[in-house]
Amino acid sequence: MRLIRISTSEAVPLEDGFLWSDEFEWKPIEQKQDRAIDGTLIVQEGKKKSGRPITLKPSDTGMGWINRRDLRKILAWSELQEEFSLQFEWPHDARQFNVIFNHEAGALEAAPVKGIPTVSEDDYYNVTMRFTELDNAN
């Protein structure tokens, strides 16, 4: 998996230990139901065009690690208000998504793997990243 800054083509590799935790919670149809005065059901619905959440979090504490160097870059990118490309690179899944960081839900959470302050840019963190998928036509 890779996160790519579209404006510069810079990429940060993401290890395979991340789980898209809310992949099947997205409801692409928005629906409102009401009743007319005579009791008739009134249904209004439409298909959402964008806004799907993509939350990447470790499957367990032994996975989903990012070194401090790459984490600092991702944190800096999250502050840019730009679009990014999230690319899956598994043999069974090569999807690509245009995303922005989901600051409303807390874009990044990170904790040192060892549970103590890091001493090197190569030390690892468990990270949860939250994105919002944009319509590819944007």
Indicate the residue type of 76: A
pLDDT category of residue 28 using cuts at 50, 70 and 90: very high
- The pLDDT assigned to 31 comes to 95
Q: What is the pLDDT of residues 30-74, one digit of tens each?
A: 999 999 999 999 999 999 989 999 999 998 888 889 999 999 999
38 CB-near residues (< 8 Å, 6+ apart)? none
Let me know: does 50 contact 98? Beta carbons within 8 Å: no
CA–CA dist 2, 7 (Å, integer): 15
CA–CA dist 84, 131 (Å, integer): 9
pLDDT category of residue 122 using cuts at 50, 70 and 90: very high
Q: What is the mean pLDDT of the chain?
A: 93
Looking up tokens 């944190």 gives 75
CA–CA dist 135, 47 (Å, integer): 12
Report the predicted TM-score, pTM, of the whole model to 2 decimal places. Answer: 0.87
- The pLDDT assigned to 138 comes to 44
CA–CA dist 8, 56 (Å, integer): 23
